[in-house]
Amino acid sequence: MKLNSKLLRAGISVSLAVMMSGMSIISAFAAAGEDPGKVDDKDKNFPDPSSFSYDDVEVNFAKALQYSIYFYDANKCGKRTGNLEWRGDCHMEDEHIPLKKYGADFKGVNVSDAFISKNKAILDPDGDGCLNCEGGMHDAGDHVKFCLPGSYAASTLGWGYYEFRDDYKETGNQEHIEQILHAFCDFYLNSIYYNEDGSVLAYVYQVGEGNIDHNYWIAPDLQNERLLDFARPAYLATVDTPASDMCAGTAAALALSYLNFKDTEPEYAEKCLKGAYALYEFAVETHAETEGDKVTSLGYDGGFYTSSYDYDELAWAAVWLYICTIDKDPAKQQEAYDKYIEAIISVDMETTGAMGAHPYTGYMKRIIKDTGNCWQNIWVHCWDTVWGGVFAKLAPITNTARDWYIFRWNLEYFSGMSESDEKAMKQPACPVGVHSHKKFGTDDEIWNKPMTADQINDLPDTDGAFLAKTPHGFAMLNDYGSARYDTAAQLCACVYAKETGDKTFSDWAEGQMEYIMGKNPMNRPYIVGYSPTAASHPHHRAAHGSLDLNMDHPADQTHVLWGALVGGPDGGDWHRDITKD
């Protein structure tokens, strides 16, 4: 069967985009080797360009998609249910976390004993004095079940499957991706505790303590066998201990699982939708407005995944709940628009500021002050800011110039380059070459101007800024974990192509993915196991398999972390393939 590579790249982009969703924090190096430190440019060696040819690089989107899903099998927590023979049962004690306020030993939960006593019938229906927090997914190469990167990964994987389901079917990956989505969402559903009226009493959003976990470099299967006092507390979101960002992010993931399973597993889909609605309402209820630079309703993370705010997660959940609601009952379209879309874009028309502008009152107010302004997104869809995904779905719903502009400008910024990037323009990573930004009008003109996708190509070109590229054309948002950002932008590019029919950005995404597959001056695929020359030292405790808590031992990984996306190149196209990095 001949498969369409231009469609397949969309599926692989989304899977790879979230693989690096959690790898933004370097693990603690205590008892685990030394910080690898910086490398001077003069000491960065590249293979001899004459020793290899880009023509020999295997470009196989179906293979990369298949491999990428196996990463999540390696990160499953609990009973061994994955497809990797080298992963065993781990953290079985998560089934019996003491239902008591923890002390200095971190054994227990974060809520008060008074809250536990008052709600014991709901929190502990079997009376064993424990919470069952089994299952779920470890974060990155570590063992904490962090909610913000986890729910981002679950929702973004679900988004990719929702948009490009046929690609998973045609490549034989449908069953596997559904297993992974189940692993995420089964854990989320088990973590919600409902009041009798169906509202949320509590939600377990984190299991484990990063400041403990990151001190021990050892496989999860051995963690408690060797370290019997290793504490794994549970963190609950309640009215008194809010985590509005975590609850909203999980609501988005569950909403997408409703859409992805409604036709094949309708009962399960309904459970997901119930949880999504309830968690979103709970997030709205517990959300606190920003006070200066601080939002007091954000969840605990121990400093490892500090959330900037919750407005983007609330918007991300809202846009998907709008889609779920009208999918379930098209007659409720206006009702759903008023409840969910207006929560994002609402404007106070009674208040007039400078130049006649009206202030935003919806979640969008966190990034755009009023209708006299717009926004240029210079970041990307990632664990701490999902605005990229929000506008990718919002633009086709509102069909306003404002939302199409924000969606498109971000992709122009990532993919475009100036005439000065002469070397990069000649590289396989940049098949599109130089292109301009589209001029939608001035900020105050486009804020609510109707516009559909087919009108965009007729807009005039204008100047604008572009993201820096490496000498060989790889988009470089940050040289720590560069590949995760690039692949997330690729996903948004593929969604734009699907919504508009404009292939400019998806062609760019294909070139960027080919760079990741090995068309780069390191002659190195950044997908583990993809080829004999692929990166082989991901920062991952389970795959490394150390028995003495040391990143240096063994020198090579014990197991192949199939499909994992390593950090990627730096701004000069160089990459260091070591476990510590």
Contact present, 185 and 121 (Cβ < 8 Å): no
Mean pLDDT on 153-160: 95
User: Band of the pLDDT at 23, cuts 50, 70, 90?
Assistant: very low
Highest mean pLDDT among 166-180, 194-208, 288-302, 476-490: 194-208
One-letter amino acid for residue 42 of the chain: K
Count of other CB atoms within 10 angstroms of residue 48: 8
Please say if the pLDDT value at position 20 is more than 80: no
**Residue 19: its pLDDT value, please?**
41
Phi, psi at 455, each rounded to 5°: -90, -15
| Cα–Cα distance measured from residue 212 to residue 13, given in angstroms and rounded to the nearest whole number | 33
- Give the pLDDT confidence score for residue 43 in this predicted structure: 76
Asked if 21 and 382 touch (Cβ cutoff 8 Å), the reply is yes
Mean pLDDT of 207-221: 92
CA distance 564 to 138: 14
What residues are paired with 237 via a beta bridge? 203
Long-range contacts formed by 458-466: CB under 8 A, 24+ apart: 461/436, 461/437, 462/436, 462/437, 462/438, 463/436, 463/437, 464/409, 464/412, 464/413, 464/416, 464/436, 464/437, 465/376, 465/378, 465/413, 466/412, 466/413, 466/416, 466/417, 466/418
Q: Mapping DSSP to helix (H, G, I), strand (E, B) and coil, where does residue 200 land?
A: strand
229-264 pLDDT, tens digit each: 789 999 999 999 999 999 999 999 999 999 999 999
E-strand ranges in 483-531 read none
Q: Is 480 exposed, middle or buried (0-12, 13-18, 19+ CB in 10 A)?
A: middle
Q: What are the chain's domains?
A: 1-71+373-383+385-521+547-581 (no CATH), 75-158+175-345 (1.50.10.10)
In this prediction, residues 350-373 reach a mean pLDDT of 95
Based on its alpha-carbon atoms, the radius of gyration of the chain, rounded to whole angstroms, reads: 23
| Percentage of the chain exceeding pLDDT 90 | 81
Q: Is the peptide bond before 554 cis (omega within 30 degrees of 0)?
A: yes
pLDDT band, residue 6 (cuts 50/70/90): low
Of 35 and 400, more confident:
400
Coil vs helix vs strand at 179: helix
**Structure token digits, residue 202:** 């509590």
- 213: nearest Cα among 106, 133, 319: 106
Q: Tens of pLDDT along 380-438?
A: 999 999 999 999 999 999 999 999 999 999 999 999 876 666 667 667 777 776 678 99
Strand boundaries in 415-539, DSSP class E: 437-438, 461-462
pLDDT, mean over the chain: 91
C-alpha distances out from residue 360 to 338, 369, 379, 441, 448, Å:
15, 6, 21, 19, 12
Q: For 272-283, b where at least 16 C-beta lie within 10 A, e where not — what string? A: bbbbbbbbbbbb
Q: Any idea which of 170-179, 290-299, 371-380, 569-578 has the lowest mean pLDDT?
A: 290-299
Cα(100)–Cα(110) distance, rounded to whole angstroms? 8
In angstroms, the Cα distances linking 91 to 19, 98, 231, 539, 581 are: 22, 14, 10, 20, 26
* Residues forming beta bridges with residue 461, ordered by sequence position: 438
